[in-house]
A and B are shown apart, each in its own frame.
Chain A
Amino acid sequence: MHPLAQATTQPLPLPEVDWRAIAPELALAVAGVVLLLVVAFWPRAGRGVLAGLTLAGLAAAAALTVWNWDLERVAFEGAVSLDGITRYARAVLLAVGALATLMVAQGDSREGEPDDSPPEVFPLLLFALLGMVLLAAASDLLVVFIALEILSLSLYVMAGETRRLAAQEAAMKYFLLGAFSSAFLLYGIALCYGATGSTNLLEIADATGDPTADGTLLLAGVGLLAVGFLFKVSAVPFHMWTPDVYQGTPTPVAAFMAAATKVAGFAVFLRVFAGALGGLVVSWRPVIAGAAVLTMLVGAALAVVQTDLKRMLAYSSISHAGYLLVGVAAAATVPAGVSASMFYLLTYAFMVMGAFMVVQYVSRLGPPDDDAIGERSSLEDYRGLARRHPWAAGLLAVFMLALTGIPPLSGFWAKYYVFLAGIEAGLTWLVVVAVISSVISAFFYLRVLVVAYLQEPVGDPGAETAPGRTPALGVALGLAGLLTVAIGLAPEALIAAARSAERILG
């Protein structure tokens, strides 16, 4: 029955407030608001204080996530659902948020220099995380849209947080194209509502089970939903903004975007496509598979020709989105596809953040650029890094090898599981393409190592400035490196946790 009609024929049901179900989200919202007020009322609060408060908020949310770990229910009349995807995504997102906080806290100013980054970046980070966590938990297309907009708006502003022209340009591009794609998503939601009479994923799932209905209208909506999600996870051909934006934005924000947006985007992708629209898998699978092929190959091929590390990482993140799409394509028929994708997101988030952390570290080595265009992230700046900064180079090697998918590191397992799920779902051809793409990708990851380990630094080494004290960045780097190695050596527990994410409540 039409939900509007339903509302009037019954006495007004008072909404049951399930505080516990959304406790982590509430914690994030409260923390964000508190940080906003701190920024407003205490303008001289240092970045350390703000970062500490942010981390406290994240810790509270994490504690509540753990408290809620075994909760499985649909809350707020189907607005959010607590299931494996939700809790796994919550955990990963909060960890990513903590690392991003450390990176942001470090900033790019050195001792004695004023910081260009505004203090608002901390509350915005929390709001962005709130949007992401909500997106991962949303079980109603309306909530999906609102959550997506919360995270997008926060990211637009964060992308342009510094006065650098490149950052401003990145923010503008991201905003314009993001708004454009949101329009598609919204139209998709409208068409889905029109076709099924509901925006609730469970009810949409029921509607897809009706064999008599002509699904064309719904499929058009599904296609537009796919456009919106594919844009967020930067899949080809909706990827063009990614390199420009990652290159232009401040490195901490780029890292956050690369890691966290993917986690949230794929969580909702899995929930909507593998969950609610699982009945239509025959129709949408070619779309996702086609996008996966394009994404993997275009991402890898274009990464090869880059000479800027941030830009290269952007293309690399595009090709990783392609591998994840293999997981999504498999997920509707093979539950392992869900767990493989979630595990992939976990490992990918730490690897890519780690890589960006090294970028942030290296960008501090050169003299601060006067033209204020962008950050120092050209491959040139990495020549001979191993001799000057063996630790940074060593960590860079760990992240690059993990991104390549070389066995003892976490990235290998991620690929391995996703590819296995693909084969299990009968998408062997797709896996073949994925393997070929991952082979191409080794080319550019290892090139970074060649530059760092085999080449002599250019110019006068004396011109290099000290990176300054980087306690926050150091901790973040250590954590990311440790996680990447540790997950590689002992992936079992995390895979088991991902397995529990296989059941989608809708």
Chain B
Amino acid sequence: MLFGQRLRALAGWIATLAVAAAFVVALAAFFELLSHPGEERTQILRGYEWFTSGDLRVAFDLRWDPLSALMALVVTGVSSLIHLYSIGYMEHDERRETFFSWLNLFVASMLVLVLAQNFLVMFLGWEGVGLCSYLLVGFWFNRRLLVVNPLGRLVEGEPDDTREVWAPPAAKKAFLANRIGDVGFLLAMFLIFATTGSLDFDVVFGEAGALAAGTATAIALLLFLACTGKSAQFPLYVWLPDAMAGPTPVSALIHAATMVTAGVFLVARTHTIFEASGTAQTVVLLVGAGTALLAALIAIGQDDIKKILAYSTVSQLGYMFIGVALGPIGYAAGMLHLVTHAFFKAQLFLGAGSVMHGNDDDTDIKHFGGLRSAMPITFWTTMAAWAAIVGVPFTSGFYSKDQVLAAAFEHGGIGLLAWAIGVFTAGLTAFYMSRYVFLTFFGERRWPEGRHPHESPPVMTVPLIVLAVLALVAGFALTTFTGEGGRFQAFLEPVLGAPEEHESLAAAAGLSAAATGLAAVGAIVAWLLYVRPFDWLALRRRWAGAWRPLAEKLYVDQVYEFFTVNLGGALAAFLARNVDQRGIDGAVNGVAELVGSSARSGRRLQSGLVRSYALGVLGGAVLIVAFLVFRP
């Protein structure tokens, strides 16, 4: 028993060490990979053979190539830091050993996803991360759980809330969106197998070029449907902001740094399929650009710090999709943005968690202000990440965003539209992120009486510092050691293909100037509004007409809610009432009726249910026989 207690206390450290060990292994394997020349940097580990039968061979094969190595490093690296942070953050939670085991399970699933060599193994990881995400989002919900069945029998929660069907709404939303995405993945997988006869990446990608345009488009769009679910793109992005209800390290790890980027990774991994379909690439591009803009707009209107960061994540994922939709010129840029975003957004979330930790779990931005001096480490590290996401020159976000936008510009055509949207969104990003840091750390103190904001313990601040440093230098380190597109691109070239020779990047300087300039404008406006002594709440009231739609998330959620909850609920209630008459309470009624009739077996028939069941049988029989006899 004593041992058990001590083990529980150690759970966090054990989990952290496990992930850190994975990171070390990944690092070693990465350097081993680097020792090979570029073309030989794809290694396939023939793993446990699931089975072979006929032409189908499915094995637990893993793939170690630059792309998966990159992802594995990011996943294990960021995970190690977040695990470490969680030890402090979850210190007082009585179920922390459960938390850490799920977190570990998540990392394992994510590694399976990125290391997969065939679609089936990838799907295994894809489902695994979804499941863990679902469990972790719901981790805290037992505290204020709403379980209400469609017939309105409340188990717990607000007595008059009959809309929630069964689960924590956030977890439910995440689940629904991801399952819609999974339909896409599954159907794509069947279609791939039906057309190429294999699920192995090498075989499938080898035949991707020979696919009929329609088939390629169908597969690509189905895969992208899966991406919109997992990576929170329009129209399925709505779950991500709600998923912030989970513990903050979860938000940082799953909903910022790793899982949500799986969609971007999927597009990059299956790029040959997307290249076979121009239509699909255009769709990805437009969805990415549209989501980037939409989410940035909504982020402006949020007062909950985690919601701001969540919409920011959705928006930044949009940038990544712009990158990977552009073809060879954009892949490396999109992946670079994935990496840098993992660093700075993980920092931002952990920083937000630190703020919450020091402020009694408050998330309302209106209750902060002037935290700069109370939590200096959190402040400075967050400023570093802020610099990166806003695109302050020579921070990591500057490089990656710049490359995405440059690639879009270079791509021409529809890419120009994406470029314009991207530049404008960069300005918006600067504005809402500045708003976030200014309202939190600058200005006057607005926190309530009796609260004593304090800095977090070292176990939490060390990861913050490491991530902040990475957020500052990663872009520089990854790109500028060599010229021409950078070392990063060269590293990924064996997998993602080389872009055609492009003209000099003379125009690039001008392009970055445009984005950086607009970002500066956004930041300055935020400064004027939120740091100077200025009654921004009054402004908000005056411009309520413009403010409301943003605060209300442009009403997208309401529209969805109308369709899913009202119509879905009505359908469920209808089914329960009319099709399954016994439904939920009926079983009890039927029995009560029996008790009333002193259980004489003959009376039972009077319940009428058996008769209606028999009618169903008869009706079905008539339908079938009539169809067969008077067949068309």
Q: Tell me the A residues contacting B by CB distance below 8 Å.
A: 165-166, 168-169, 172-173, 176-177, 180-181, 184, 216, 219-220, 222-224, 226-227, 230-231, 236-238, 240-241, 243-244, 247, 283-284, 286-287, 298, 301-302, 304-308, 311, 373-374, 380, 406-408, 419-420, 423-424, 431-432, 435-436, 438-440, 442-443, 446-447, 449-450, 453-456, 489-492, 495-496, 499
Contact = CB atoms under 8 A, between A and B. Distances in A.
B625 A223 contact: yes
B579 interface: yes
Contacts of B551: none
B343 interface: no
A307 B135 contact: no
B613 A241 contact: yes
B319 interface: no
Contact of B180 (A223, A438, A439, A496): A439
A495 B572 contact: no
Nearest to B627: A287
B127 A407 contact: yes
Interface stretch (B295-303, B441-449, B485-493, B590-598): B590-598
Contact of A176 (B186, B571, B575, B605): B605
27 contacts: A166-B587, A172-B605, A176-B610, A181-B617, A219-B631, A222-B628, A223-B629, A224-B625, A227-B621, A240-B617, A241-B613, A247-B587, A286-B627, A287-B624, A287-B627, A301-B572, A302-B579, A305-B151, A373-B588, A406-B127, A436-B183, A443-B175, A450-B135, A450-B138, A455-B145, A490-B50, A491-B51
Given A223-B628, A454-B139, A455-B142, A499 B591 contact: no
B595 A499 contact: no
Contacts of B50: 489-492
Given A177-B613, A446-B131, 5 more contacts: A184-B621, A223-B627, A307-B584, A491-B51, A492-B53
Given A450-B171, A489-B50, A240 B613 contact: yes
Contacts of A489: 48, 50
Interface of B: 48-53, 120, 123-124, 127, 131, 134-135, 138-139, 141-142, 145, 147, 149-151, 153, 155, 165-167, 171, 175-176, 179-180, 182-183, 186-187, 190, 193-194, 571-572, 575-576, 579-580, 582-584, 587-588, 590-591, 594-595, 599, 601, 604-605, 609-610, 612-614, 616-617, 619-621, 624-625, 627-629, 631
Contacts of A307: 149, 153, 584
Q: DSSP class of A's interface residues: helix, strand, loop or mixed? A: helix
Q: Of A216, A238, A495, which is in contact with the most chain B CB atoms at under 10 Å from its CB? A: A238
A169 B604 contact: yes
A399 to B, nearest CB: 15
Contacts of B580: 243, 302, 305
B619 A237 contact: yes
Contacts of B142: 454-456
B605 to A, nearest CB: 7
Given A305-B584, A423-B190, A439-B180, A492 B614 contact: no
A406 B109 CA distance: 13
A305 B587 contact: no
Contacts of B194: 420, 423-424
B610 A407 contact: no
B155 A380 contact: yes
Nearest to B586: A244
Given A287-B628, A408-B124, A172 B601 contact: yes
B616 A420 contact: no
Nearest to A422: B190
A173 to B, nearest CB: 6
Contacts of A306: 584
Contacts of B583: 305
A244 B135 contact: no
A505 B617 CA distance: 31
A432 B187 contact: yes
Nearest to B124: A407
Nearest to A280: B628
A407 B120 contact: yes
Contact of A302 (B138, B575, B590): B575
Given A176-B610, A442-B179, A407 B123 contact: yes
A311 B587 CA distance: 10
Contacts of B175: 442-443, 446
A219 B151 CA distance: 43
Contacts of B609: 173, 244
Contacts of A224: 621, 624-625
Contacts of B52: 492
Contact of A439 (B134, B182, B614, B619): B182
A180 B612 CA distance: 13
Contacts of B621: 184, 223-224, 227
A236 B102 CA distance: 39
A310 B481 CA distance: 63
B629 A216 contact: yes
B631 A165 contact: no
